Amino acid sequence: MIELDNVGYSYGGGELLSDVSVRLSPGSFHFLTGPSGAGKTTLLKLCYGALLPTSGVVRAFDADMRGLDRDQMAMMRRRIGVVHQDCRFLDHLPVADNIALPLIVSGRDMAAESGNLRELMNWVGLSSRADATPPELSGGERQRAALARAVIMSPDVVLADEPTGNVDWEMSQRLLQLLIELNRMGKTVLIASHDLGLIRAAKREVQARVLRISNRRLQLAGADL
């Protein structure tokens, strides 16, 4: 699905990541850990082409991202759903329209997709909030809306950047279960998180590989997690 081969990334004259190699295989489940500022968000951005490496190669679906033109990059990104840490929405639009934005931008027939949208909103528990605007949502509802928007195009890969960072434990468990369900449907999942409790909970249900960024490099975390 996505492969980083000896990837490095420098920013502002300093090296943030060095010699990073990892392969996100179809149907795999990964956690990405490390202290704040270690480069977790940067690594996720490299995985979906928001950043290009300063050294090494990033491949998505067997294509070198450096060789993709704008249209090819846009098509590739449709196969990758991203749950951003800051959960940006258009505050003047209702939740349902915010979730449906990727469909609208890609030119899908919204009448034909309405059933899928309703089913997805029910799946994340937001059916009753379809007409609410983003400022009216709680933190947990915003995170669930962000997850729904990330997967509405039925991507092959889901990348989630600290998806439970602003919610309580009960809600974090609910969000985790949604991501586990996606994985059981065959989706490749990569979650950036510093929450060891969440990682332990996931490892009881799925074969999750835990990766840690330390000293600019990516390492396989210990079995004690």
Average the pLDDT over 152-161 and give the result.
92
214-223 average pLDDT score: 79
pLDDT confidence bin for 222, thresholds 50/70/90 = low
Residue range 160-183: mean pLDDT, rounded: 86
Q: Find out whether 106 and 153 touch, Cβ atoms under 8 Å.
A: yes
Contacts for 28 with CB less than 8 Å, ≥ 6 apart: 1, 188, 189, 209
Taken in order 202, 31, 165, 140, the sign of the CA dihedral is negative
pLDDT tens, position by position, 2-27: 999 999 999 887 889 999 999 999 99
Helix or strand (DSSP H, E) at 27: none
pLDDT over 70 percentage in the chain: 98
In this prediction, residue 224 carries a pLDDT of: 43
Reported confidence tier of residue 223, pLDDT bands at 50, 70, 90: very low
For residues 126 and 220, give the distance between their C-alpha atoms in angstroms, rounded to a whole number.
36
* pLDDT at residue 174 is higher than 90: no
What does 47-70 look like in DSSP terms, one character per residue?
HTTSS--SEEEEEETTEEGGG--H
Q: Is residue 36 pLDDT above 90, yes or no?
A: no
CB atoms within 10 A of CB 39: 24
pLDDT band at 171 (very low <50, low <70, confident <90, very high): confident
pLDDT, tens only, 48-106: 999 999 999 999 999 999 999 999 998 899 899 999 887 789 999 999 999 999 888 88
In the block, tokens 């799946």 appear at 123
- Please determine, for residue 166, whether its predicted confidence score (pLDDT) is greater than 90: no
pLDDT above 90: percentage of residues in the chain: 55
The whole-model pTM stands at 0.90
What per-residue confidence (pLDDT) applies to 225? Answer: 43
